[in-house]
Amino acid sequence: MRSVTTDQGRFADRVALVTGAGNGIGRACARRLSAEGATVVVADLDEAAAGAVADELTGTGARALAVAMDVTSAESVDRAVAGAVDAFGGLDVLVSCAGGTFSHPPLPGTSDEDWLANLELNLMGVVRVVRASLPHLLPRRGNVVSIGSVNGLGSFGSEPYSAAKAALVNLTANLSTAHGPAGVRVNLVMPGTVRTRVWDDQPESLAELTAAYPLGRAGEPEDIAAAVAFLASDDASWISGVVLPVDGGLMAAGPLRRRGA
């Protein structure tokens, strides 16, 4: 095991690829890993947003690279991962953060397309990125941290999205078991409601949801980034296959509290 900390930070001399890093939780993860010494590959479907984050990081003296990545395209993912490895010589950490929801009617009115769109982005997107990254993580005994959602742990509606996030629990268990003997760790963070740009025009809805959280507030992207940085670091060197809710106590509160009772 490599040293847990150095004068340059927990991720000195390590290369981290963060998907969905142009905004929100992914951007916070990129910033946190960079602040702790990582060379960060900022991957996003929005290439301009990725470029802005990479410029911000390099402006602090860190090493960073922006790459365009569409996680619904195997070709795009493979090309981006290959570019990251070519640029920096390898890969130590993968943070798979790209995801999102697609609006749909209640279950009886959903179409196959509603289901497939959510599964493509939130499940297959993670599969593609992990599949492309594993050959580079294995020789460096790297690790994977994926971002799920508490929707994958309880009854919060949006069945297609929730089912995709629930599948990440089993994927994490299988990947951690299969690749643990080679020294690769795989963990999953399940955020609750986090104050990202999707809530910018819904302040009342955000306030209503916040009432269900025992800690009395919505999460911030930095809350999730802190958990990711821990799991990706050597401080968590004996932690693998873990599903970690980062949810202000929501899941512990029980179903009545979660429904606002």
Q: What CATH number has the domain bearing residue 47?
A: 3.40.50.720
Q: Is residue 6 domain-resident? A: no
Instruction: Write out the E strands in the chain.
Output: 15-19, 39-44, 64-68, 93-96, 143-147, 185-191, 243-246
Unique residue bearing structure tokens 């702790």 = 36
How confident is residue 2, by pLDDT bands cut at 50, 70 and 90? very low
- Catalytic residue status for 213: no
Higher pLDDT pick, 3 / 178: 178
Q: What is the pLDDT of residue 69?
A: 98
Structure tokens at 181: 């003997």
Q: Is residue 226 part of a domain?
A: yes
For residue 35, tell me if it sits in a domain. Answer: yes
Cβ–Cβ < 8 Å for 188, 169: yes
Categorise residue 100: left if φ over 0, alpha if ψ from -120 to 50, beta otherwise: left
Instruction: Give the count of domains, the chain.
Output: 1
- 40 in a domain, yes or no? yes
Task: With respect to residue 7, please indicate whether it lies within any of the assigned structural domains.
Answer: no
Token readout for 162 is 């929730």
**What is the structure's pLDDT at 206?**
84
The pLDDT-based confidence of 72 (bands split at 50, 70, 90) is very high
Q: Confirm whether 61 is domain-assigned.
A: yes
Q: What is the dihedral of CA 115, 119, 120, 122, to 10 degrees?
A: 140
User: Which of 118-132, 151-165, 201-215, 223-237 comes out lowest in average pLDDT?
Assistant: 201-215
* Residue 4 banded pLDDT, cuts 50, 70, 90: very low
DSSP 225-248: HHHHHHHHSGGGTT--S-EEEEST
Please report the pLDDT score of residue 205 as a whole number.
Answer: 78
Q: Specify the pLDDT at position 261.
A: 33
Q: For residue 97, give its domain range.
A: 15-258
Residue 94 near residue 172 (C-beta atoms within 8 A): no
* Span between the terminal Cα atoms of the chain, in Å: 47
What is the structure's pLDDT at 106? 84
Mean of pLDDT values over 53-66: 98
Share of the chain above pLDDT 90, in %: 80
The pLDDT assigned to 73 comes to: 98
Q: What string of DSSP letters covers 51-68? A: HHHHHHHHTTT--EEEEE
Of 88, 161, 171, 240, the active-site residue reads 161
> What integer best gives the mean pLDDT of the chain?
92
Domain membership of residue 8 (yes or no) is: no
4, part of any domain: no
Tell me: the pLDDT tens digits for 137-156? Answer: 999 999 999 999 999 999 88
